[in-house]
Every structure is written in structure tokens, then in C-alpha cells.
Amino acid sequence: MSEEYIRGQISAKEDEITRIEEEASKKDASAEAEIEVEFDLQIEEAKAKVDEEEGLRDEAIQKSEEWTQKKKEKIATAKDTNKKLANLKSDKDKALNEKLKEIENEKKSQIKEVQGEIKTLQKQLIALEKEKEKAKKAQEAED
């Protein structure tokens, strides 16, 4: 084996290394493009889904805060309304009791007045009966 033959062999091997590196470089580019095609669409869809879900999450958080505030307001409103209801029922009972008491007092007053008139009429009746009796006795005495 000659020196030239060995140098040719080395050169051929170096050329083979260059060819292998070029093929690997082409495969790298091809693999990158192939993987990008395969995954880029899925990645974009996943990003869009993440954005959508985060938007819905943020909206839910905002609505939750609004409803929490509304809940607090409605609890306070319901409490106030309940107090009003209780006060109205109490006022109704008081008003009814006062009205019934007033009616009862008026009834007693009217009955007392009528009873007084009855007593007066009874006295008048007794007086008339006595007069009649006297007149009858006087009549009998004359006869």
C-alpha cells in the first residue's frame, strides 16, 4: 500500500463524513419540518383552547365576584324586608287590637246608655202603674 493510496482512502473517508453530515443536515431539516407540520397545528389549537378556557375562567371569576356581591346585597335586602314584614304583622295586630278595644268600649258605652234609658223607662212604668193603682183605688173609693 502506497502513501497515495492511503491518502486517497483518507480523502474518501473524509468525503464520506461530509456526505454523512450533509445527509444528516438534510434529515434534520426534513425532520424539523415534518415534526412542525405534525405538532404546530396541535400546538396552535391547544393555545387557542388555553386562551378560550382562561377567558372563560376569568369570566367565571368575575361573575362569581358579582354574584357574591349580589348575594351579600340580597341577604341584607331579605333581612330588611323580613324586619318590615315582622313590623307590619306586629303593627297589624296592634291596630286590630286597638280597633277591637275601641269597638268594645263603644259597645259598652252604648249598652250603658241604653240600660240607663231602660231604667228611666222602667221607673216611668212603675210610676204610671202606681198612678193607675192610685186612680183605681180612688175610683173604687168613690164607688
C-alpha cell at 87: 313590623
Q: Is 38 a member of any domain?
A: yes
Round to whole Å and give the CA distance between 80 and 86: 10
Query: What pLDDT is stored for residue 38 in this prediction?
Result: 86
CA angle 5, 11, 16 (to 5 degrees): 125
Residue 51's domain comprises 1-102
- Which DSSP string do the residues of 30-51 spell out, in sequence order? HHHHHHHHHHHHHHHHHHHHHH
pLDDT in tens, 29-62: 788 888 888 899 999 999 999 999 999 999 999 9
Instruction: Say how many domains are in the chain.
Output: 1
Q: Is 56 a member of any domain?
A: yes
Under the banding of pLDDT at 50, 70 and 90, the label for residue 83 is very high
Q: Is 122 a member of any domain?
A: no
Query: What pLDDT is stored for residue 29 in this prediction?
Result: 79
Query: What pLDDT is stored for residue 118 in this prediction?
Result: 96
Q: Is 108 a member of any domain?
A: no
Amino acid identity for residue 101 in this structure: K
Q: Is 62 a member of any domain?
A: yes
Q: Is 111 a member of any domain?
A: no
Q: Is 48 a member of any domain?
A: yes
Q: Is 112 a member of any domain?
A: no
User: Whole-number mean pLDDT of the chain?
Assistant: 93
pLDDT in tens, 116-143: 999 999 999 999 999 988 888 888 877 6
Round to whole Å and give the CA distance between 21 and 43: 30
Does the model's pTM come out above 0.85?
no
| Strand stretches in 1-143, DSSP E | none
